[in-house]
Amino acid sequence: MSELLSRAEALDAADELGALRDRFVLDEVVYLDGNSLGALPAHVPDRVADVVRRQWGELRIRSWDESGWWTAPERIGDRIAPLVGAAPGQIVVGDSTSVNVFKALVAAVRMAREAGGAPAGGPREEILVDATTFPTDGYIAASAARMTGCTLRPVAPGDVPAALSGRTAAVLLNHVDYRTGRLHDLPYLTAAVHAAGAYAVWDLCHSAGALPVGLDEHGVGLAVGCTYKYLNGGPGSPAFLYVRRDLQDRFDSPLPGWNSHAEPFGMRPEYEPARGALRGRVGTPDILSLLALEASLEVWDGVPIEAVRAKSLTLTDFFLECVAAYVPAGRVESVTPAAHGQRGSQVALRCADAGTVMKRLIERGVVGDFRHPDVLRFGFTPLYVGFGDAERAARVLAAVLGEV
């Protein structure tokens, strides 16, 4: 038995989160793709069956009141709130991440113009977007810019403070880079954007459920995130939208719908927005996905996000140590920062023939994913990934690389 394997067994035996693995449906596969789709919590199928058979099948329309369907978006938002450092009443769940990015970004421009007037630097007519962002965020930002009459400027996150001016209305940033796993400095960048009189919109898709975010603590105004990665909500589960409490009365959504109306059943032709985070709602909630997500979030009961972060850093450190020990020098290069303060909960390795390598890893029971052109991504979800998984993944990676 290798020294690293022995250490993995000792670390797993001492892991305070290790018992959480039993809350999920897992097999002998090493599943390191929870940064794309989280594993299934074991109790969710029965809960979804109840929603379908009893709530929909028997109660039917009565379930909007008797089963709490109507309040699900904000109720589930309050379940997510502690995981991203938010007080209740500031998160609503529904729609996709893309739709919520559009709502938040257009609303940010409108609020900046309402508050900022025309400063010495000119009118608020520019949106900055993370130049390394997931493509959809860039597409949405471009559309929001056209709609609001803004110019769009891609900027590397580290260059944002220098790029800000009196013309800047909004800045769209990713908390964790989806390719490299780099964690950006949310407190510093948020403060810089706000000092310029603009609004930061944070995409938390790769940090929610993986590390403390501190939305309230750091004064974030607007944030969005998905729920099917580290929150394990299921494929295509609805996203969330955070609007800081003191901004809610000014939040002017570009997608007003009957569900966000102050009197949704009044059926009035004039739109009057609801108070609070409910302004983020649009149309009829996607109940089946919402309630599957609500059930999934129960795996977080009693789990502090700080403990998850501590295990994540130890796991990724150990995986990188195993890779360094098992993989011949020069075969892979980590593009994930070594510094804990700059790392999310994934490790990205650059290597030749990455697509072929990942295909063979999956065939041998180690599931990560490939990002064009040459990146292997391994996501570490501390709720169900152990140190033995990390050691085995590195060992199989070395074997595969010895064959290609």
Provide the residue ranges of all domains of the chain, joining segments of one domain with +.
Answer: 3-17+303-401, 49-300
Residue in 24, 102, 134, 326 annotated catalytic = 134
Q: pTM value?
A: 0.97
Which tokens go with 180?
């490299």
**Tokens 């891609």 sit on residue:** 154
Whole-number average pLDDT of the chain: 96
246 a catalytic residue = no
Which pLDDT belongs to residue 116? 56
Say if CB 240 and CB 100 are below 8 A apart: yes
pLDDT for residue 122:
58
Given 23, 79, 110, 377, which residue is catalytic?
Answer: 377
- Given this model, what pLDDT does residue 404 score? 80
What pLDDT, in 10s, does the model give residues 313-370?
999 999 999 999 999 999 999 999 999 999 999 999 999 999 999 999 999 999 999 9
Q: Pull the structure tokens for residue 273.
A: 């927005």
237 compared with 118, residue with greater pLDDT? 237
Name which of 102, 114, 110, 107 is nearest 144 in CA terms. Answer: 102
Catalytic annotation present for 228 = yes
Question: Which residue of the set 103, 113, 167, 229 is catalytic?
Answer: 229
Q: Is the pLDDT of residue 119 over 60?
A: no
- Residue 387 catalytic? no
Q: What is the pLDDT of residue 1?
A: 54
377 annotated active-site: yes
pLDDT digits (tens, 9 = 90+) for 177-230: 999 999 999 999 999 999 999 999 999 999 999 999 999 999 999 999 999 999
Q: Report the half-sphere exposure of 8 (CA within 13 A, side-chain side).
A: 24
**Residue 153 has what pLDDT?**
98
pLDDT of residue 115: 79
The pLDDT of 96-107, averaged and rounded, is: 98
Q: Given this structure, which CATH class describes domain 3-17+303-401?
A: alpha beta
- Given a cut of 60, whether residue 117 has pLDDT beyond it is no
Q: Which of 137, 203, 369, 389 is catalytic?
A: 203
Q: For residue 121, is pLDDT > 70?
A: no
- Asked about 102 being catalytic, the answer comes back as no
Provide the β-strand partners of residue 280.
none
CA 45 to chain centre: 23
Question: Check: CATH 3.40.640.10 for 49-300?
Answer: yes
- What are the tens digits of pLDDT across the range 252-309? 999 999 999 999 999 999 999 999 999 999 999 999 999 999 999 999 999 999 999 9
User: Residue 380 pLDDT more than 70?
Assistant: yes
Tell me whether residue 365 is exposed, middle or buried, using C-beta atoms within 10 angstroms of its C-beta: 0 to 12, 13 to 18, 19 or more: middle
Query: Which listed residue (178, 199, 228, 387) is catalytic?
Result: 228
